[in-house]
Structure 1
Amino acid sequence: MAQVSKEFNLKLGSAGKGLISSVLAFVKFFVVPFMVLNLILTIGDGSGGEWWPKVKVLIEEMMPLVIVFGIAITAVAFGRGFYPKGSYPRAVFSAVCAVLVMIYAYMLMLGGDVQSFFDSEDIALDVMFVFLLFALLLVIRTLQHLGELPDHRHEFLTLMAGKLGTPMPEPLPVEDVDKHRFYHDLRLRYGRLEPGFKDMRKAAGKYLAWPVFLLIIIGIVITKIGDSVPVEFKNELDGLVGTIALIGAAIAVLMFFKGFYPKGSVSRMAFWIPAAGCICLWIWYLSFGGDVAIELMDLATIELDYTPIIMLFIIAAALWAVYAIVEMVSYRKDWKANNFQPVDDKKISAMKKLKKKEAKEKAKAEKLQKKLDEKRSQGKD
C-alpha cells in the first residue's frame, strides 16, 4: 500500500502532458458541444418551424450539463495526462474520467425528454439504443486506458526507482529463442492490452457503431418518404442492420487480437487474415452484393449493377491479408531478437543507423590503418 501511495508523488508527473490532456478534453467535451448547441440555436431561431420551441427547450436544458460536465472532465483529464502510463494514479483518473463521460452522455438524454420529442415528431429513433451503441465504444476506450497499467508497469516501476529511489523491478526473463516454436506465439504474456483494445475500438466504430447508426438514419428517412420506396427494400435494410452489426462485432473481436499480439508474431497474422476476410464480407453485404433493383410505385424499376466497383473495394481490403503476412516475415527476426517484446520501429531505425555509422567508422579506420601500414613499409624500404 505504501508503494502505491508513492505513485501519487508529483515528481513522477508531467505538467505539460497534463495540460495537453486537459486542453484536448476541454475542446472535445466543452467547446465542441457548446458551439454545436449554440449553432443550432442560431439556425433554429430563424426557421420558425413548429418543432423549434420543443428543440429550444431541450437545448436550453442541455447547456448547463455541457458546462458542468465539460469542466469536470477537463479537470480529471489533467490528472490522467499528468501521471505516466503504468501508474495506478493514471488508471484511477482514467476510470473516473470514463464514468463522468458516461454520465454526461446519459444526462444529455434529459431523462427521456429527447426520446419524447422524437416520438412526438413521429421519428422512429430509439435514443437509448443509440446511446448504448456509442457507450460500447466508450467502454472499449476505457479498457484501452486501463490496459496501460499492466502493459507499461515495468517501465513505470523503473522510472519510479530512478526518481524516488524505490526498489528496481525484476528484469524481464530472457527466453530461449532456439526452444521457441511458432505456436508459442499465442502465449498471452506476449500481448499488450492497450493496442489490442485500441484496434478493437477503431474497428467497432468503423464497422459496427457508425454504420449501424447511419443505416438506422437511412431507415428513418425511408419511412418518412412513405410509399415511394417499396416494402421489400425496407425489409432488406432492416435485415442489413443486424447482419452488419454481427459481422462488425466479429471484425472488432478479431482486431483486438491483431492489436494484442506484437508485430512479427504468427498469432497477430493468424487473427489479422480472417479479419480481412470479414471486412470483405462486410463490404459485400453493405453494398447489397453489388446489385440493387428498386421498383418505384409500380411505374418504373431502377436496376443498378456496380459489382466491378465493389470488387475493387473487396480486393483492396483483401490486400490487408497479404500485408499481414509480409509484416510477420519482416518483423519476426527483430521481435525474437528483442526477447519477444513488442518491436519499436523508431528504436529499430535508430539501431540500424547506429550500426551503419559504426560500420562506416570501422571501414574508415581500417582504410586509415592500411595507409599508415603502407607508409611504414615504404619507410623501411
Structure 2
Amino acid sequence: MILFELIDFDILRVIWWVLLGVLLIGFALTDGFDMGVGALLPFVGRTDVERRVVINTIGPVWEGNQVWFILGGGAIFAAWPPLYAVSFSGFYLAMFAVLAALILRPVGFKYRSKRDSAAWRSGWDWALFVGGAAPALLFGVAVGNVMLGVPFYLTEDLMPMYDGAFYAKFLGLLRPFAILSGVVSLSMLLMHGAAWLTLKTEGPVQMRARTIGTYAGIVAAVAYALAGVWLALGVDGFQIIGEVAPNGPSNPLYSEVERGGSWMAAYSARPWIIIAPIMAFAGIALAVMGLRAGREVSTLLWSKMAITGIISSVGLTMFPFILPSTVNPDSSLTVWDSSSSHQTLFVMLVMAVIFMPLILAYTAWVYKVLWGKVTEDEITGSGHSY
C-alpha cells in the first residue's frame, strides 16, 4: 500500500507507455526474424533440403516468440482500454488479414512434409512466405496510419465510432505514407531474418541470406530516411493545447487537441530523442556491413539495435499521443487520458515485475539449449525435423 501511494498516477502511465513499447519491440526482435525468415524462404532455399533447413531454424522457437505478441495485445486491453476498443474495432478487417496470414505458419510447418510432392511442398513454401511477408508489411502500414491519424471519434459516453465502411476500414488504410512505412517494416524484418539465417545456417543458404539481407538493409535505410523527410514536410502533427493534466481523469475528451505543425517539433522540445533514429541508421549500417563481411552474432545484434531504434523513434516522436483522431482531434488518445485506473496499473506493474524476468530467463535458456547451426546432415538424418 505504501508503494502504491508512492508511485503517482502520471508516473504509472509513463511506465506502462514504456512497457507497451518494450513489448512491441520484444515482439519485433524475436518473432520479427521468424517473419523475415518466412518471407525469405522461397528465395534462400533452392532445394527441398535447403528449405527444410531454413524452416528448422525457426521451427523450435516461433511459438515462444509469439508470446510477445500476446503480451502486447493483453497489455493494450488492460492498460489502455480506449486504445484497444478503437484499434481492434476499427482495424478488425486488417487485423483479420494479419491473423489469417499468421495462421499459415503453423499450418505450413505441420503439413508441408506430409506428402512427397514437389507441387504440394512448393505451395506450402509460398504459404509460409505469405505468413511472414504479409504481417511484416501490414504492421508497418498500421504504424504509418497511426502517425497520419485515424478517422474515429468518441461520443459523449466515450463510445468509439469509426467513419466509413469497408473502404475506410481496410483499403482506406493503404495510404501512400502508410505503404512507405510498410516498406520500412518489411525490409527491416527481411534484414533481421537474413541476419538470423547467417547465424543459424551455412553454405549456399547462408550466402543467399547475406546477399538478400544486404539489399534489404539498404532499402530499409532509404525508406526510413524518406519516411522521416515525408513526416517533416508532408504530414500534420497533433498537439495538446491548454493545460496538460498528467494526473487527470481517463477521459480522452478532457483534453483539447489541435491538428497542425509537424511531428518533428518533438525533436526541438526533447532533443535527446534523436538517439532513436541514430540507433536505427547506425544499426542498419553495421548490420549491412556485418552481412557483407560474414559476421554472425554481431550482425544479429546490430539488426536488433536497428529495430529498437526504428520502433522507438515512432513512440518518442508522437509522445504523449498514442492514437490521434483526424475526425475530432479532441478524441485523440494520449498517455495522460486513455489509461486504466491508478490501482489497475499498479497491480499490473507488480505482476509484470514478477513474471517478466521469468519469461526472459526461460527465453534465454531456450536459445542457449538450441544454440548452434542447422545443417543439411542434421535435417536428413533426423525424424523429428520439419
TM-score, structure 1 as length reference: 0.32
Bigger RCO of structures 1 and 2 (CA < 8 A, at least 6 apart): 2
Computing the radius of gyration over CA atoms, which structure comes out larger, 1 or 2?
1
Q: TM-score, normalised by structure 2?
A: 0.31
